C-alpha cells in the first residue's frame, strides 16, 4: 500500500542515482523510457536494465509506437513490473502486449494544454478509456500533449491540462487512473484534492535539468503531498 495519499510515479528516470533517489523518498513506481526516440530521457536497453536492477521499487518501462515483439523483449530483459504505452498503440496491441508480457500494462491518453486552443471531446476520450480497459489495460494515465521546444511531445511536457475535465473523466474511469502533466511540489496537493486521481505521474516537476532529478525538488514534492 502506498505511504503517500495517492500513488506517485516518478518518470523519465535516466540514471541509477535518480532511481535510488526516487526510491529513497517513497515513489510507488519508477518510470524509465526505452524506445521513446523523441525524448532526451530515453535510455538504451542496457541502461534501462541497469536502472531497473538498482532498486526494489516497481519499474514501469515506457515505450512509444514500438512493435509488440520489441516491447515484450524489453520488458523481459529489464524484468519490469509493467509497461506504459505512450504512443498511438491500439486497444488490440494493448491486448497483445498484455498476453505476451503477463505484467501490468498501462496506457497514456492525452488532453490538450489547459490554455490551448485544441478542443477536447470528453465523451470520445472516456470511450477510449473504456476500450483500453476492456483490452486489458490495468491502469490509465491522463497526460498533456503539447509543443515544447519545437517538438510535439506526448508526455514529459511540464504543461497542465484542464483539471476540471480530468476530474470528471477520472471519476468515471473504468480502471485506476493517474494524472500527469505539469505537476510539481507547488500544485501536487491541489491535484490530489481537486482531481482525486489514483496517482500522480511526473518528471519535469522534480528535475534540475531535463532528465536529471533534483534532490530538493523531489523532497519538496513528497513533503507537499503528505502535508496535503
Q: Find the CATH number of the domain harbouring 159.
A: 3.20.20.70
The mean pLDDT of 126-147, rounded to a whole number, is 90
How much is the pLDDT for 183? 95
In the predicted structure, residue 118 carries a pLDDT above the cut 70: no
Report the alpha-carbon distance of residue 94 to residue 126 in Å, rounded: 17
Judge whether 131 lies within some domain.
yes
The range of the structural domain enclosing residue 165 comes to 7-227
Judge whether 166 lies within some domain.
yes
The mean pLDDT of 109-133, rounded to a whole number, is 86
CA distances from 221 to 6, 10, 106, 120, 165 (A): 12, 11, 23, 29, 24
The count of domains in the chain is 1
How much is the pLDDT for 154? 52
Judge whether 1 lies within some domain.
no
Judge whether 2 lies within some domain.
no
Judge whether 202 lies within some domain.
yes
pLDDT band per the 50, 70, 90 thresholds, residue 46: very high
Judge whether 193 lies within some domain.
yes
Report the alpha-carbon distance of residue 209 to residue 71 in Å, rounded: 28
Judge whether 71 lies within some domain.
yes
In the predicted structure, residue 145 carries a pLDDT above the cut 90: no
How much is the pLDDT for 43? 97
Please check whether residue 169 is in contact with residue 204, taking contact to mean a CB–CB distance below 8 angstroms. Answer: no
Q: Kindly report, residue by residue over 147-184, the tens digit of the pLDDT.
A: 444 444 555 556 777 899 999 999 999 999 999 998 99
Report the alpha-carbon distance of residue 4 to residue 194 in Å, rounded: 16
Report the alpha-carbon distance of residue 130 to residue 132 in Å, rounded: 6
Minimum mean pLDDT range among 107-111, 157-161, 211-215? 157-161
What does pTM read for this prediction? 0.92
Amino acid at each position: 500500500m502506498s505511504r503517500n495519499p495517492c500513488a506517485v510515479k516518478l518518470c523519465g528516470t535516466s540514471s541509477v542515482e535518480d532511481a535510488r533517489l526516487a526510491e529513497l523518498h517513497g515513489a510507488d513506481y519508477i518510470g524509465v523510457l526505452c524506445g521513446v526516440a523523441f525524448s532526451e530521457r530515453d535510455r538504451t536497453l542496457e541502461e534501462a536494465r541497469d536502472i531497473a536492477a538498482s532498486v526494489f521499487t516497481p519499474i514501469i518501462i515506457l515505450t512509444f509506437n514500438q512493435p509488440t515483439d520489441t516491447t515484450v523483449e524489453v520488458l523481459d530483459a529489464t524484468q519490469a513490473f509493467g509497461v506504459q504505452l505512450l504512443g498511438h498503440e491500439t486497444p488490440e496491441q494493448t491486448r497483445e502486449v498484455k498476453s505476451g508480457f503477463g505484467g501490468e500494462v498501462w496506457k497514456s491518453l492525452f488532453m490538450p494544454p489547459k490554455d490551448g486552443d485544441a478542443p477536447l471531446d470528453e465523451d470520445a476520450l472516456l470511450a477510449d478509456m473504456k476500450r483500453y480497459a476492456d483490452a486489458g489495460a490495468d491502469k490509465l494515465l491522463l497526460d498533456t500533449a503539447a509543443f515544447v521546444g519545437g517538438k510535439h511531445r506526448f508526455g514529459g511536457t511540464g504543461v497542465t491540462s484542464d483539471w476540471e475535465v480530468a476530474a470528471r473523466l477520472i471519476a468515471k474511469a473504468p480502471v485506476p487512473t493517474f494524472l500527469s502533466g505539469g505537476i510539481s511540489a507547488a500544485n501536487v496537493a491541489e491535484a490530489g484534492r481537486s482531481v482525486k486521481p489514483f496517482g500522480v505521474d511526473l518528471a519535469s516537476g522534480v528535475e534540475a535539468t531535463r532528465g536529471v532529478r533534483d534532490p530538493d525538488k523531489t523532497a519538496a514534492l513528497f513533503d507537499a503531498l503528505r502535508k496535503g
